[in-house]
Amino acid sequence: MDSQTKPVLHGYFRSSCSWRVRIAFALKGIEYDQVPVNLIKDGGQQLTGQYKEINPMQQVPAVIIDGITLSQSLAIIQYIEETRPGRRLLPTDPKKRAQVRMISDVIASGIQPVQNLYVLQKIGAEKVPWAQHFIIRGFEALEPLLKQTAGKYCVGDEISMADICLVPQVYNAERFKVDVSQFPTIKRLNQTLMEIEAFKGSHPSCQPDTPFDLRS
């Protein structure tokens, strides 16, 4: 393992999956380089032959780390957890660890894929009501789960991979004008997490490839 070489994140400022990886790097205190992949420009830079060699699924993120290339944000986060010291992203308790993975999967498999850019481009004019429907449906399942598992954060009182998944999904919900106040546990957790520097500093509004008019 060549831990002296900085990981390289191929991502997009507004991709929630890329944001998850940025949060994980920040929580672990890992320095990394970013290579922007603009999902809109030139018909989508992720669709080029050059990028397909990096990630055959032609999605972001992809991370080059320790001499290998990894795609899929949860796989990347768990690799970081298993190979890097610092703040734990998965609890040591097996039951809590399973709860973290369950919540992460509800978001990463059950909500985000049906409202991502590629799907919405296929939907066309109905994309906003489509996104709202699937986010609300997912949050209606997530809210009671989080009521059972949450302490200060999604699972107990330690930040975990579940929190890393939650914040970008709430950002997406707000982009699509979903009223998050109808989900009080989700809203509370998101507000708490957005006070933390790892979540603020990795926000889509302050990335190297964030368009000027979307910066804050």
Q: Is the pLDDT of residue 80 over 60?
A: yes
SS3 content of the chain, % helix, strand, coil (to 5): 60, 10, 30
- CATH assignment of 8-87, among 3.40.30.10, 3.10.129.10, 1.20.1250.20, 3.50.7.10: 3.40.30.10
pLDDT digits (tens, 9 = 90+) for 17-63: 999 999 999 999 999 999 999 898 888 889 899 899 999 999 999 99
- Whether the model clears a pTM of 0.85, i.e. scores above it, the answer is yes
Q: Please give the single-letter amino acid code of residue 161.
A: M
Confidence of residue 97 (pLDDT cuts 50, 70, 90): very high
- CATH assignment of 94-199, among 1.20.1050.10, 3.40.630.10, 3.90.1150.10, 3.40.50.300: 1.20.1050.10
Rounded CA gap, 65 and 7, in Å?
5
Q: Where are the beta strands (DSSP E) in 62-193?
A: 62-65, 68-71
| Residue 194: strand, helix, or coil | coil
